[in-house]
Amino acid sequence: MKNLNKITCIKVYQVELTMKEGHYSWSTQSFRSFDSTIVEIETSEGIKGYGEVCPLGPSYLPAYAEGARAGIEKIAEFLIGRDPANINEINSIMDNALKGHPYVKSAIDIACWDILGKITNQPVFNLLGGKLQNKIKLFKVVSRDIPEIMQQKIIEYQDQGFKQFQMKVGAEPSVDIRRIRSVAENLRPGNILGADANCGWRQHDAIRVVKAVSDLDIYIEQPCPTYEECSVVRKISNLPFILDECMDSLQSVLRAWNDQSVDVINLKIGRLGGLSKAKIIRDVCVGLGISLTIEDTWGSQIADATIAHLAHSTPREFHFQSSAFHEYTKVLTAQGQPTIENGYMFCSNKNGLGITPNFDVLGDPLSIFS
């Protein structure tokens, strides 16, 4: 029987995600809001799927919000008339139409998974391998600030029920050492802390910091911009290592594993190009015995639903932690987002991603391709 379910329309929305705490700071950067792109794909059968991509500003990764929307314009015409449920073909078409720029393709890929779930009457986590854990362990970000404020935040967040934390560092090394010590000293027994530099240190600065905090029970995350620099720091450190920004492909993951340069990989869905490629890397990491932080660069309720479905379908013993961005933003882009309780996130069992967009917030689409 011929499949009549074809892509008839792609709509692109833009929304500014403002921060509840006024700003979000890491390394040497600070933002009061982030520019998010939300995609709606409609099929000939009237089924609609949604995806979101939100780069963390224009200078964090080789990605920026306007670039996501410009890239979608380049590839949209090639997708009209195609079967959204044939997700491998959709990704092949996007890769042939636009070399590189994986973040451009992420929201489209996610929207197709949402559609596939609705067509098959299943939540996306079933399609990604099944529900392997009922609740998703979250980490709470302690945004970079003066040591005293970061110290207050770790106490406050632990009172809220969180047990895993990612503190932002990556600025002046001597101050970062004080930041790490002041936060670590207030970490309650059994709780977990990572110091995430987000590429902010030069190699010699990173070596100074990791040596100065080597007596603490913490993780070090992405101290330097390049894999090569991080690998040098790893060799002189006794602390467990998380790699993030330089893990941008399956090849980079395999290289880090082969070099014994990583203990946990931070898998960001948008950086890899969507759920399809994130799933491949997730499954390879599980096969290699590498644990995973599963998240994205940033986003709202739609991005969080995507993160939750991938995390729910990841074996608990290989899932280190995840993030929930709608905790940090004032903006409600969708209903049906994952719920948060005592440091855990729980995903909807509804078909697809389980979310319903809030068009009062999204407004009119910036672009329509049909």
Catalytic, out of 268, 277, 330, 350: 268
Tell me, yes or no, if 48 is annotated catalytic: no
Number of Cβ within 10 Å of residue 88's Cβ equals 8
Residue 206 has φ and ψ, to the nearest 5°, of: -60, -40
309: three-class secondary structure by DSSP: helix
Query: Is residue 338 within 8 Å of 349, Cβ to Cβ?
Result: no
Q: Bridge-partner residues for 305, per DSSP?
A: none
User: Which DSSP helix (H) or strand (E) runs through 18?
Assistant: strand 7-18
Compute the distance between CA of residue 310 and CA of residue 214 in angstroms, rounded to an integer.
33
For the question of residue 153 being annotated catalytic, the response is no
**According to the 3-state scheme, what is the secondary structure of 158-199?**
HHCCCCEEEEECCCCHHHHHHHHHHHHCCCCCCCEEEEECCC
What residues have CB less than 8 Å from 3, skipping those under 6 apart? 83, 85
Bridge partners (DSSP) of residue 241 are: 220
Q: Which of 168, 277, 279, 350 is catalytic?
A: 168
| DSSP character string of 65-108 | HHHHHHHHHHHHHHHTTS-TT-HHHHHHHHHHHSSS-HHHHHHH
Residue 32 and residue 89 in contact, taking contact as beta carbons nearer than 8 Å: no
Alpha-carbon 96 to chain mean position: 25
DSSP 316: G
Tell me how far apart the alpha carbons of residues 62 and 55 are, in angstroms, rounded to a whole number.
9
Active-site residues: which are they?
A: 168, 268
